[in-house]
Structure 1
Amino acid sequence: MVKTILRATGTYVPTPEISNAELVASFNAYSERFNAQNADAIAAGTLEAKPLSSADFIESASGIKNRHVIEKDGILDIDEMVPRITPRSWDETSVQAEFAMKAITPALEKAGYTGADFDGIIVASSAQQRNFPALASELQGLIGCEGWSFDMTMACASALYGLNIAHTMIQSGQARRILVVSPEIMTSINVHSRREVHFIFGDAASAIIVEAGDATSSGWEILGTHTKNKFSNALRSDFGFINRSEYVADPDYEVGLDQDGHRVFKDVVSFAPVVAAELMSRLDLAPADIHRTWLHQANIRMVDMIAKRILGRDRTPENAPAILHEYGNTSSSSVVMNFEMHSEDMAPGETGVMCAFGAGYGVGAAAVRKM
C-alpha cells in the first residue's frame, strides 16, 4: 500500500517585532484617550470605560511575551491599530501570495522540487485577502504548477485540515504530491483595540510538502489524520463581503475578531484531546508510544493541559515544545512552525502527534513517524 510522506516543511516569520511592553503602551494610550473623550457618558453609565492592559496580564493570561508582525508602526499607532499595507495593482503579486512564497521557497529547496513536480496546491489558512480568484491559483502560477488548486479555511486548525485532505487524496490515488500552504497575516484580522484579543496574534507562514512514497522515502510517514468539528460562536470574526451591506443598514455596526476566552479555554481543552485520542485509538497508538506532540500555539495553559491529556504525562519542553512566548498565536501556521523547529532531533521510528484547534470549533490531528 502507498505510504503518505511529509517530505518537507518551510516557514517564514517577518522581521518586525512587538513586545508586550510596546503593545500595552499603545493600547493603554488608546484606552485613556477614549475614556477622556467620553468621560461624561462613562460617568453617566451610558458608556462603558475601556479597561487598561498590562504586560503581566498578557503573560499570565497567555504565555506570550513577543510577536512578529508584517508591519509594526500601524499596529502601534492609536489612530490606526492595524498594519499599514500598501494596496497593489492587479498586475502585481498580492501581499498574501508574496507572504506565502517566503515559506514555499525553503520547502521546495529542502525537497529539491519545482512547482512542476506538484499535482495541486491547497491554501489552508484563517482567511484569504480576496474572495476570488483563489490565492492557491495565484501561487500555482507563481511556482509553475499545472495541476489544480483551491483555498479553504478552518481557522487555527486550517493547516491540519489541509494536511488531512492531502493525505486522503494521496491515499486514494488522486494525487502523488501536494503542497499545503498556510499564510497567516493575523494582525490584519485582529482588533487591537479590544483588551480580550489585542495581544494574541503574530504573523507567519508555513508550507508542507505531502507526497506518495514507500519504505525508501525520506521524511515522515503520515500514519493517519483526523478532523472533527463542534460549532461554537465563542471565537468569531465577522469580516467578510456582507459587511458593506451591513454598514449601509447600520453605519455604527462593528465587526472584528472577538472571543469569550474562558468559554473557549474550557471547551477546547476538553474537545481537542478527544480528537487526538480518537486518531491514536484508530492507529493502535497508546500515549506511551508518542515521543512528542506539536500543538497549536494558542495559550500556554491550553498547551499544558492538552499535551498532558494526549501524552498521559506532564508537559515538558521535550515532549510538547512551546514557541508562543516568542511568536504569539500565528493561527494554523503555528503547529507547522512548532514541528519544523522541534523535530530534527527525533530518531527514525519515533512517533509524534500534531494537534491544532480553533474557531468553529475545529480540531485537526495527524500522527507521523520519522523514517
Structure 2
Amino acid sequence: MRDCVIRSVGWTAPEASISNEELVKVFNTYADRFNAENADAIAAGTLAEIPHSSEKFIEQASGILNRHVVDKAGLMDLDRMRPRIPHREKEALAYQAEFGLSAAKKALDKAGRTADDLDGVIVASSAQQRNFPGVSVEIQNALGMTRGWAFDMTMACASAIFAMQQARELIRTGQADAILIVCPEIMSAINHYRRREVHFIFGDASAAILLEAGDREPGGWELQGVRLETKWSNALRSDFGFMNHTEFEDDEPFEAFVDQDGHRVFRDVIPMASGVSSKLIADLGYQPHDIRRAWLHQANIRIVQAVAKKALDREPTADVAPIILNEYGNTSSSSVLMTFDMHSSDMKPGERGLMCAFGAGYGCGAAIIQKR
C-alpha cells in the first residue's frame, strides 16, 4: 500500500474575541436578573438559584482565558446570549460552508494545490448547518472542483481524526490521491451561555488538512497509523436534530444545547484517550520516548496534560504538549489541527508526534505522524 502524508493544514478563527472578564460580566448580570425575577420560586425551593461565575473559576476549571467567536454582539446581548447569524437564501453560500472554505483555501494555497488536484472533500465537525445537501458538497462546488466526491460526517471533537482514518485508507488503497478534510466548528451556536458549567468552554474556528499519496513529492508528514475507539456515554451531549420539532409541543420547555457532566467526562476521557494513544504507539513498535510531541484536542488544560503525561510517560511541558486553549478555548475538532499547525515547524525529519482527539460519544482517535 502507498504511504499517506499530511501535506498542509490551514485554519482561521474569527477576529472578535471574548475575555473571561467580559463573559463573566454578562453571565452574572443575567444570573442576578433571573434570581430577582424568580425570587419567590427560589425561596420556595421549586426553582434553583443561578450562582455567579468568576474568572478564577473559569481559569481553574479549564485553563481558558479567551475565545474567538463569529458574533460577539449576540453573545454579549443580555436578552439574547447566543450568536446572531442571519438567514441566507438557498442560492447563497451557506454560512458554515463559507467558514470552512476559508480554511480549505489556506490549506490548498500552503501546499501549492488547486481544486483540480483533489479527489474528495470530507466535512468533519461536531454539527452541520443542515442535514442535506452536504456542506461538504457545497464546499466542493465553491472550490470549483469538477470531479470527485464529498460527504459530511460527525464524531464531535474527534471528527478530524476519524476523517483522517477514512481518507488514509482511501489513499493507501489507491481509491484517491488527495483528500481535503474540513472542520468548520461554530460551537457558539450550540453552546448554552446561560448555564454556568458550560458557558465559558467553547470558541469558534475552522481548520482544514490536506492528505495525499506519499509518492507525489518529498516532504510532508507520513501518517503512520491511526487508532479509533468509541464508547456510549451521555455525559457530553447535544440534542439538536431533525426530530426536535416532532418530540415536543410548542408550550413545552426544550433546550437542545450542549450539556455535560464535567467531572464524569474528566474521569472517563483521560484513561480512554491515553489508552488509545498508548496502544497505537505500541502497535507501531514504538516506545513513549520515540514520540517527540503530542498535539491534543484542546478540551481542558488538565485533560490535555494528564493524557500527554500518561501516553508519553513524561511531564507534559509546553514542548511536549503545547497549549492553545488559553487563547481560543475549545474549538472542537479543529483544535487538534490548529495545535499541530502552530507547534510543528521546529521538528526535524524523522521525528514523530502524536495527534489525539476525544469527545462526546465517547469517541477517541489517535494518529502517529513522522516528519519526512
* TM-score normalized by the length of structure 1: 0.98
Change (3 A) 1:152 1:36: same
Which residue identity does 1:63 align to in structure 2?
G
Question: Is the 2:121–2:140 Cα contact (8 Å) retained in structure 1?
Answer: yes
Change (3 A) 1:249 1:18: closer
Per the TM alignment, residue 250 of structure 1 is displaced from its structure 2 partner at its CA by 5.5
Per the TM alignment, residue 214 of structure 1 is displaced from its structure 2 partner at its CA by 3.0
What SS does structure 1 have at the residue aligned with 2:255? coil
Aligned CA-pair RMSD: 1.0
Q: 5 Å matches for 1:290-369?
A: 290-369=291-370
**Structure 1 residue aligned with 2:202:** 201
Per the TM alignment, residue 362 of structure 1 is displaced from its structure 2 partner at its CA by 0.3
Runs of at least 4 residues off by over 3 Å: none
Q: 5 Å matches for 1:76-225?
A: 76-145=76-145, 146-214=147-215, 216-225=217-226
More divergent stretch after superposition (354-363 vs 251-260): 251-260
Which residue identity does 2:186 align to in structure 1?
I
Mark the runs of 5 or more structure 2 residues left unpaired by the alignment.
none
What SS does structure 2 have at the residue aligned with 1:7? strand
Which residue identity does 2:332 align to in structure 1?
S
Question: Is the 1:72–1:83 Cα contact (8 Å) retained in structure 2?
Answer: yes
Q: Tell me whether 1:240 sits opposite 2:241 in the alignment.
A: yes
Mark the runs of 5 or more structure 1 residues left unpaired by the alignment.
none
What SS does structure 2 have at the residue aligned with 1:223? strand
Question: Is the 1:246–1:253 Cα contact (8 Å) retained in structure 2?
Answer: no
Change (3 A) 1:184 1:215: closer
- Cα distance in 1 between the residues matched to 2:2 and 2:322: 31
Question: Is the 1:237–1:258 Cα contact (8 Å) retained in structure 2?
Answer: yes
Q: Tell me whether 1:260 sits opposite 2:261 in the alignment.
A: yes
Question: Is the 2:2–2:173 Cα contact (8 Å) retained in structure 1?
Answer: no
Per the TM alignment, residue 255 of structure 1 is displaced from its structure 2 partner at its CA by 2.2
Per the TM alignment, residue 247 of structure 1 is displaced from its structure 2 partner at its CA by 3.0
- Cα distance in 2 between the residues matched to 1:274 and 1:150: 30
Which residue identity does 1:142 align to in structure 2?
A
Per the TM alignment, residue 347 of structure 1 is displaced from its structure 2 partner at its CA by 0.5
Number of residue pairs the alignment of both structures matches? 371
What SS does structure 1 have at the residue aligned with 2:207? strand
- Cα distance in 2 between the residues matched to 1:320 and 1:256: 30
**Structure 2 residue aligned with 1:22:** 22
- Cα distance in 1 between the residues matched to 2:251 and 2:368: 48
What SS does structure 2 have at the residue aligned with 1:47? coil
What SS does structure 2 have at the residue aligned with 1:248? coil
Question: Is the 2:3–2:215 Cα contact (8 Å) retained in structure 1?
Answer: yes
Which residue identity does 2:142 align to in structure 1?
L
Per the TM alignment, residue 246 of structure 1 is displaced from its structure 2 partner at its CA by 2.3
Per the TM alignment, residue 213 of structure 1 is displaced from its structure 2 partner at its CA by 1.4
Which residue identity does 2:328 align to in structure 1?
Y
- Cα distance in 2 between the residues matched to 1:154 and 1:8: 22
Which residue identity does 2:179 align to in structure 1?
I
What SS does structure 1 have at the residue aligned with 2:46? coil
Q: Tell me whether 1:66 sits opposite 2:93 in the alignment.
A: no
**Structure 1 residue aligned with 2:11:** 11
| Deviation readout 1:246-297 (Å, 9 max, x if unpaired) | 2327622232111000000000011101111121111111101000000000
| Deviation readout 1:63-105 (Å, 9 max, x if unpaired) | 0000000010101112111111111001110100110011111
What SS does structure 2 have at the residue aligned with 1:182? strand
- Cα distance in 1 between the residues matched to 2:250 and 2:21: 39
What SS does structure 1 have at the residue aligned with 2:248? helix
Per the TM alignment, residue 224 of structure 1 is displaced from its structure 2 partner at its CA by 0.8
- Cα distance in 1 between the residues matched to 2:77 and 2:221: 44
* TM-score normalized by the length of structure 2: 0.98
What SS does structure 1 have at the residue aligned with 2:293? strand
- Cα distance in 2 between the residues matched to 1:321 and 1:274: 20
Question: Is the 1:116–1:143 Cα contact (8 Å) retained in structure 2?
Answer: no
- Cα distance in 2 between the residues matched to 1:155 and 1:161: 10
Which residue identity does 1:96 align to in structure 2?
Q
What SS does structure 2 have at the residue aligned with 1:256? coil
Per the TM alignment, residue 216 of structure 1 is displaced from its structure 2 partner at its CA by 4.9
- Cα distance in 2 between the residues matched to 1:180 and 1:58: 32
Which residue identity does 2:205 align to in structure 1?
A
- Cα distance in 2 between the residues matched to 1:366 and 1:183: 20
What SS does structure 2 have at the residue aligned with 1:265? helix
Per the TM alignment, residue 354 of structure 1 is displaced from its structure 2 partner at its CA by 0.1
| Deviation readout 1:147-176 (Å, 9 max, x if unpaired) | 011000000000111111101111122111
